């Protein structure tokens, strides 16, 4: 099978000071990706998380998943809607809002980890 021709990689020489300045501006992004985003007017990639930050976010996300908070709130809201739990309309609204807030927290944690958000 014949290999397809390809463009050779482009290299760029930088002084120590230039590289340090670009590295600082990249704010944790890979330097090549940062330079490419600047040259080609592409939006910069988000900053990489340190392993400690990533581990911490994963633990928080795991604890949120293991907790029964969302399930308990959903059950309370269901009982309130059925009329078997006497609550004022403000309480019912607060329960609904709390459920939505927990779903938003989950979504934000997943996005912070760079993972795909599923419903």
**What's the pLDDT at 16?**
94
Same domain, 40 and 65: no
Same domain, 64 and 82: yes
In a domain, 41, yes or no: yes
Same domain, 41 and 55: no
CA distance 36 to 52: 28
The answer, as to whether pTM is greater than 0.75, is no
In a domain, 28, yes or no: yes
pLDDT in tens, 73-99: 778 878 877 888 877 888 778 878 888
10-47 residues labelled b (16+ CB within 10 A) or e (exposed): eeeeeeeeeeeeeeeebeebeeeebbeeeeeeeeeeee
Q: Which residue has the tokens 């293991």?
A: 66
Same domain, 89 and 71: yes
In a domain, 67, yes or no: yes
pLDDT in tens, 1-33: 566 777 888 888 999 999 999 988 887 778 888
- Domain with 60, as residue range(s), is 51-112
The domain tally of the chain equals: 2
């Amino acid at each position: 099978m014949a290999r397809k021709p390809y463009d050779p990689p482009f290299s760029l020489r930088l002084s120590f000071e230039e590289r340090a300045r670009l590295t600082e501006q990249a704010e944790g992004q890979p330097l090549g990706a940062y330079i490419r985003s600047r040259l080609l007017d592409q939006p910069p990639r988000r900053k990489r998380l340190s392993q400690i930050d990533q581990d911490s976010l994963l633990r928080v996300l795991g604890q949120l998943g293991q907790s029964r908070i969302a399930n308990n709130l959903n059950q309370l809201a269901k009982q309130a809607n059925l009329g078997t739990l006497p609550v004022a309309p403000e309480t019912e609204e607060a329960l609904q809002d709390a459920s939505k807030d927990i779903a938003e927290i989950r979504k934000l944690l997943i996005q912070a980890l760079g993972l795909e958000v599923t419903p």
